Every structure is written in structure tokens, then in C-alpha cells.
Amino acid sequence: MTAGDSALHHLDSAGMRDFLARFVQIPSVYLPDTAGANESAAAAFVVDVLTEWGLNPTVWEVQPGRPNIVAELHGSFGAGALLLMEGHTDVVTPGNLANWTYPPFGATVVGDRMYGRGTADMKSGVAAMLYAVRALQLAGSPFAGTIRLLIPVDEEGLMIGIKDIVARGYADGAAGAIICEPEEHEVCTAQKGALRLKLHSVGRVAHGAMPDEGVNALTPLIRLLNPIIDLQAELRSTHGDHPLLGKIYISPTVLRAPIGGDASQVNVLPDSADVYLDIRTIPGVNHQRIVATIQGYIDVLCQKHPSYQVALTIIDDRPSTEIPTSHPLVQALRAAHLKVYGDVPPYGGVPGSTDGTIITRDSGVPVVVYGPGHKRIPHQPDEFVHLSEVDNAARVYIHAALQFLSTPV
């Protein structure tokens, strides 16, 4: 019996499905103004399982009620590479419950599908990676090196969880990372960058019938949006489309004036306003140059109109990532998928950004994104995952880890 056969023999599919159902039934939506609305209960559930398995997880709170988890399994073949496997505990809000056919935290099973918030994004990925590691453990950890599980909070927010994990050194020296997000059988070697900016304008309140007596805080933002939107076309002309990620996007997503006001005061100039920009980039695009270009637009406008006051703030900066298809981790995942499914998986790109962008940005570790579930079902009503895909993802992770960690150092 090969090491892979032994590990597959120890894969507890029934236990994994039960774990997933119980995991989904624990709401882990973070709502800052609602007591108990965080990842604490979901993380505690994961910690109990890891502790029962003897994996001795390390747990700490990034913020109150928001625990990160790290655990690892050492191979029995001696020193070798460090492989990271990563998945988050938080989920997004279910939204309007009337749009759901099944309760969003019910983990309802219909045929091969389990419905519920987080089934695809990404509690199924967490379940698959945990039970893959458990199977390897029960098979005697037949590999060289270490598998380290990173289970952070807040992937759906500003990624404070993975930022803290990486800052504490848990990604240092890793040879590669598998991000277990839903990618629909694709081995995703690239993911878009995300640059979030806020432009804040300060004016002076005045009567709408006498606007010259004040400064309309909204006006400079409107004037700035034209060149900012035109910048999208310039970037596309320079960089083209990426074969896996497509186009660059610059999207104004929020425009507010006055901040904290309401629409009843239509006869008053706003004394404050802001606009938020969601910028999605591809490899080769320099985020610092984008920021400098937009700051240049602000400087020129404010020099022309000295009464304008506009400040630019970087809310978040996640660069795009790309790993060569020849990388051993990519090839290990493709070979593992072939063993499990009988066909060669396509390469793909992640249209959003994952915690992997932070792992690469802050530690230089190459990442691949591969996991169970459809890539476009997350955040929608009636989110679901095929349970057979969760089983197969765990099998793929087993084979990929064994191949990637086959050589002692």
C-alpha cells in the first residue's frame, strides 16, 4: 500500500461531512455593533477538533472575540519543506432571509448539495484541509517537512487575521501555500490585486441659494472622478488583459455628501464629502503609481482652486499574485487532481483577492488557490457546495501534499 493509499484509507468522509454541517450551523458573520456576532464560536469548534486530534493548536485573539488558529503536522521522514494550507472562519451576512430557499445556517442537505452561508466560501475548504491533514496523521505522516494550517478571521473584511498571522512569522520560510477557496476544479495560479482608496473633501456650509458664501465639498470629488475613471482606460491600454484575470477595473463604489447627513437638507451646501474607490489590478500594475497619479490629480485641482481641501487615504493595498505554472506546488496539485478526477484541471484566476495576497505580499511565499465549490456562488442566497467535491478536495490535498513534501532536506 502506498502512502497515498494509506492516507486515503484513513480519510473520514462521514466525519468530515458531519464537521462541515456543524461548522456551517455556527454563524460566524462579523457585525461590530452586535454582541457575539464574530468568529469566536466557529473558531472554538475548530480548536476543539484539532485538540482532540492531538495537533495542539495555537490560538490568540486579534481583536476581542476574533481568534486566529495555527496548527501543524510534522512529517515522519525528517526535515523538509514547509507547506501552508489556509482557510478562514468568517462568512458574509446572509442578507434578506426571504431570498433563501433553505435556512442560511441550517446546513440543509438535498441530494449531493449542502446549502448554507459559508458552505462554499469557505467552510468546506477548511473541512477538506483539516480532514486531509488528519488522514495523513493517521497514516503515520509519511512525508518530509511540515504542513502548517493557518485559520484566520476577517478574510471578508480587511484581512486583519492573516495580516497578524504573517506578522507573527507563521509564513516565514514556507515553500508554498494552498489557499482552499472555492475555484470550481481550477488550479488558480493568479489572483487580482485590490487597492481601496478613500478621497475625503472638506468644505464650508452655506445656503444653496448663495453658494459663493461657502465651499461645496462635493464639487472637487465630482471633478476628480472624471480623470480617475479615464485612468482605467489608460491602464488597460498599457497593460492589456490578463489571460486568466481579464481586465483592470477602477470602480467608484460610494459617494457621500454630507457625511452623516440626510437628503432632507437639499438647500444646504455639504461641508464634507467622500468617495471610495475599489481598484482591481493584474500582475504588472504598480499600485504606488496609481496612488501617485490620483494624488497628482488632487494636487493640480487644489492648486487651481485653493478653497478645495481633499485628502487621499489608502484603506487597503493587496497586490495581485501569480505563480509560474511550472512551480512544484502547481504541478503537485494538477497531478493530484488528475489522480482523483481522471482529467487534467484547467489553470484559472481568482477574480477577487484572497488571504493569499497578504501571504505573498508580506512573506514572499508563492500561493495557489484550489478548493471545493463553484467560484461564483459565494455571497449569494442559497449558497451551496457539492459534498462529493468536498470529499475529492480532501483527496487532492492528500496527494498534493505527499508529492510536494516527498523530498527530505
Do 303 and 227 have their domain in common? yes
Q: Are 400 and 345 in contact (CB under 8 A)?
A: no
Is this prediction's pTM over 0.85?
Answer: yes
Do 203 and 313 have their domain in common? yes
Question: Residue 179 corresponds to which cell in the numbers above?
Answer: 489557499
Asked if residue 409 belongs to a domain, the reply is: no
Q: Which 8-state DSSP code applies to residue 63?
A: E
Question: Residue 96 corresponds to which cell in the numbers above?
Answer: 434578506
How high is the pLDDT of residue 261? Answer: 72
How high is the pLDDT of residue 131? Answer: 98
- How far apart are the C-alpha atoms of 56 and 48, rounded to whole Å? 10
- How far apart are the C-alpha atoms of 349 and 85, rounded to whole Å? 18
Which of 273, 294, 318 is the C-terminal boundary of a domain? 318
Distances in Å between the Cα of 243 and the Cα atoms of 143, 184, 188, 368 are: 35, 18, 12, 16
Asked if residue 380 belongs to a domain, the reply is: yes
By DSSP bridging, strand 347-350 and strand 176-179 are unpaired
How many structural domains does the chain have? 2
Do 104 and 230 have their domain in common? no
How high is the pLDDT of residue 1? Answer: 77
- How far apart are the C-alpha atoms of 135 and 9, rounded to whole Å? 8
- How far apart are the C-alpha atoms of 160 and 291, rounded to whole Å? 22
Do 7 and 146 have their domain in common? yes
Give me the domain span that covers residue 208: 193-318
What CATH number does the domain containing 255 carry? 3.30.70.360
Asked if residue 200 belongs to a domain, the reply is: yes
Do 271 and 342 have their domain in common? no
- Residue by residue, pLDDT tens for the chain (409 residues) are 798 888 999 999 999 999 999 999 999 999 999 999 999 999 999 999 999 999 999 999 999 999 999 999 999 999 999 999 999 999 999 999 999 999 999 999 999 999 999 999 999 999 999 999 999 999 999 999 999 999 999 999 999 999 999 999 999 999 999 999 999 999 999 999 999 999 999 999 888 888 888 899 999 999 999 999 999 999 999 999 999 999 999 999 999 998 877 777 788 889 999 999 999 999 999 999 999 999 999 999 999 999 999 999 999 999 999 999 999 999 999 999 999 999 999 999 998 889 999 999 999 999 999 999 999 899 999 999 999 999 999 999 999 999 999 987 6
Question: Residue 338 corresponds to which cell in the numbers above?
Answer: 488528475
